[in-house]
């Protein structure tokens, strides 16, 4: 889909949503939308990128958008689910994923969480040596069908966003592969635990170049080969390579694509594609970000210090990363008439402000857009992951409704509710 086609698709969705009062100045000032047709196309691209000769489970990173109806849709499209908390595990099970389709990653798994995962047969990636000891204790009293691996940190360095780089020398995740003594301890861990048959690594996501990610996976594959060679048996049979494909937040461009990602993996880690290892991926951002947007009404406009400001109903409560780290997580904003139609006209530098009661609640600063007026609509683009699905509850603002949309057989757009709008009564119930 070209940039102009993507813009036309969003305009069509927004105008249809206005007509159906899914966004309305009286009772739906803020709403989010997920293009389910786009999600289908993106997942198909991921599945096509990996060769049929290699067994792969593509596990969606639930943290990116854990709404249960959306997880059900992803399961229907052939995805597994990667979870990082007891809550996400519950959501994955509620969405119908079988334990064999679920991967549990977290740096802080409790004993109770480990017992539950191992009883169910969920795949578990242990984060550290102490967690391996806990698993030893659990398996001493019960059997498990879980696939169990160790998360290693290949320590290949950081990308341009420190908070998204998980394979630095001092990362909190995994066992640091190059720290003194760790290679020997890991080899002993695998030798002493025949049930330890997987290895996991995740280099990072936004801001990490593909070659850096591929280098981290190559070190992980080399580690698996070393374990099998040193033990004289093929003990490691699967490699969880994480996710991390970066997203272009500057345009409607979807590059780099999954095919490019796989090409870099082939170049750096050809042994991954011999068919000797099963593979798990854990993509999130790259599957959903560009397939979602958030729409909000402009409530007021003003000028302060010669700067034009539009006060809208979308701020940190639906785009926390952008508000608190705007240089790392910028979002595009489009301007629309009250009908939802794209707004045109001379571009004016405007701050796009949210409703929260602190000065930094800004989605964009001095952003050139057609002049906004009360009653207009702004759309925050590329927010299908880690935005409206990860609400920030400052000022006790209600979570907006989330609507899925797909094209019906007749060509009409059909909306389906993925999350109901939170009511004031809901908020009171949560705080009473």
pLDDT digits (tens, 9 = 90+) for 337-349: 999 999 999 999 9
Same domain, 185 and 235: yes
**Mean pLDDT score, 239-246:** 94
Contact 67, 388 (CB under 8 A): no
Query: Rounded distance, CA 399 to CA 388, Å?
Result: 8
Which of 255, 288, 321 marks a domain boundary?
Answer: 288
Same domain, 277 and 315: no
Q: Which candidate, 83, 76, 85, places its Cα nearest to that of 280?
A: 83
When pLDDT is cut at 50, 70 and 90, the band that residue 431 belongs to is: confident
Residue 312 — φ and ψ, nearest 5°?
-120, 180
Question: So what's the pLDDT on residue 240?
Answer: 98
Domains contained in the chain, number: 2
Which of 288, 319, 349 marks a domain boundary?
Answer: 288
Neighbours of 429 (CB within 10 A): 10
Cα–Cα distances (Å) from 419 to 9, 70, 87, 352, 416, in that order, read: 22, 9, 16, 25, 9
Query: Rounded distance, CA 77 to CA 43, Å?
Result: 7
Whether a cis peptide bond, with omega within 30° of 0, leads into 256 is: yes
Same domain, 73 and 43: yes
Same domain, 160 and 270: yes
Question: So what's the pLDDT on residue 338?
Answer: 98
Angle in degrees, 0-180, between the axes of helices 182-192 and 210-231, rounded to the nearest 10: 50
Q: What tokens were used for 118?
A: 């191992």
pLDDT digits (tens, 9 = 90+) for 101-150: 999 999 999 999 999 999 999 999 999 999 999 999 999 999 999 999 99
pLDDT surpasses 80 at 3: no
Same domain, 201 and 63: yes
Q: Which candidate, 103, 104, 111, places its Cα nearest to that of 133?
A: 111
CATH number at residue 315: 2.40.37.10
Q: Which domain holds residue 210?
A: 37-288
Same domain, 272 and 297: no
Mean pLDDT of the chain: 96
Same domain, 227 and 297: no
Question: So what's the pLDDT on residue 144?
Answer: 98
Question: So what's the pLDDT on residue 169?
Answer: 83
Please tell me the least confidently modeled range out of 63-67, 103-107, 250-254, 267-271. Answer: 250-254
Q: What tokens were used for 372?
A: 């906004």
CATH number at residue 172: 3.20.20.10
Query: Rounded distance, CA 186 to CA 8, Å?
Result: 53
Same domain, 85 and 178: yes
Same domain, 164 and 260: yes
Same domain, 47 and 31: no
Q: Which candidate, 328, 257, 246, 245, places its Cα nearest to that of 282?
A: 245
Same domain, 282 and 248: yes
Query: Rounded distance, CA 224 to CA 243, Å?
Result: 18
Q: Which residue has the higher pLDDT, 205 or 154?
A: 154
Which of 273, 288, 303 marks a domain boundary?
Answer: 288
Query: Rounded distance, CA 110 to CA 311, Å?
Result: 43
Query: Rounded distance, CA 37 to CA 39, Å?
Result: 5
**Mean pLDDT score, 406-420:** 96
Q: What tokens were used for 81?
A: 């689910």
Q: What percent of the chain has pLDDT over 70?
A: 100
Question: So what's the pLDDT on residue 204?
Answer: 85
Same domain, 234 and 375: no
Query: Rounded distance, CA 261 to CA 209, Å?
Result: 10
Q: Which candidate, 380, 385, 395, places its Cα nearest to that of 291?
A: 385
pLDDT digits (tens, 9 = 90+) for 41-83: 999 999 999 999 999 999 999 999 999 999 999 999 999 999 9
pTM comes to: 0.96
């Amino acid at each position: 889909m070209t940039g102009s086609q993507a813009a036309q698709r969003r305009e069509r969705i927004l105008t249809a949503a206005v007509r159906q009062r899914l966004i309305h100045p009286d009772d739906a000032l803020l709403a989010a939308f997920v293009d389910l047709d786009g999600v289908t196309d993106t997942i198909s691209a991921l599945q096509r990128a990996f060769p049929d000769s290699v067994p792969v489970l593509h596990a969606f990173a639930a943290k990116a958008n854990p709404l249960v109806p959306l997880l059900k849709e992803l399961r229907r499209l052939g995805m597994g689910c990667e979870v990082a908390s007891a809550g996400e595990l519950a959501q994955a099970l509620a969405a119908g994923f079988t334990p064999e389709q679920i991967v549990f990653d977290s740096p802080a798994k409790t004993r109770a969480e480990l017992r539950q995962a191992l009883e169910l047969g969920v795949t578990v990636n242990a984060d550290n040596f102490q967690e391996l000891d806990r698993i030893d204790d659990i398996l001493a009293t019960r059997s498990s069908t879980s696939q169990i691996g160790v998360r290693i940190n290949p320590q290949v360095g950081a990308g341009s966003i420190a908070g998204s780089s998980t394979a630095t020398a001092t990362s909190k995740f995994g066992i640091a592969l190059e720290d003194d003594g760790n290679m020997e301890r890991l080899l002993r861990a695998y030798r002493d635990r025949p049930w330890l048959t997987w290895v996991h690594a995740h280099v990072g996501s936004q801001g990490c170049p593909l070659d850096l990610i591929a280098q981290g996976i190559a070190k992980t594959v080399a580690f698996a080969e070393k374990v099998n060679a040193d033990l004289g048996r093929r003990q490691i049979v699967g490699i969880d390579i994480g996710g991390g494909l970066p997203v272009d937040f500057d345009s409607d461009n979807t590059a780099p694509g999954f095919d490019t990602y796989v090409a870099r993996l082939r170049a750096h880690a050809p042994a991954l594609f011999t068919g000797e290892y099963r593979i798990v991926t854990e993509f999130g951002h790259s599957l959903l970000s560009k397939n979602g947007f958030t729409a909000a009404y402009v409530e007021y406009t003003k000028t302060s210090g010669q700067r034009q400001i539009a006060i809208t109903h979308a701020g940190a409560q639906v785009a926390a990363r952008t508000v608190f780290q705007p240089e790392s997580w910028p979002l595009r904003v489009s301007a629309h008439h009250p009908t939802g139609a794209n707004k045109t006209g001379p571009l004016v530098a405007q701050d796009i402000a949210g409703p929260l009661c602190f000065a930094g609640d800004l989605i964009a600063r001095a952003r050139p857009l057609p002049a906004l007026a009360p009653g207009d609509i702004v759309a925050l683009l590329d927010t299908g992951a880690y935005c409206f699905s990860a609400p920030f509850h400052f000022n006790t603002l209600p979570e907006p409704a989330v609507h899925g949309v797909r094209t019906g057989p007749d060509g009409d757009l059909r909306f389906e509710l993925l999350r109901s709008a939170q009511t004031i009564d809901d908020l009171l119930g949560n705080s009473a």
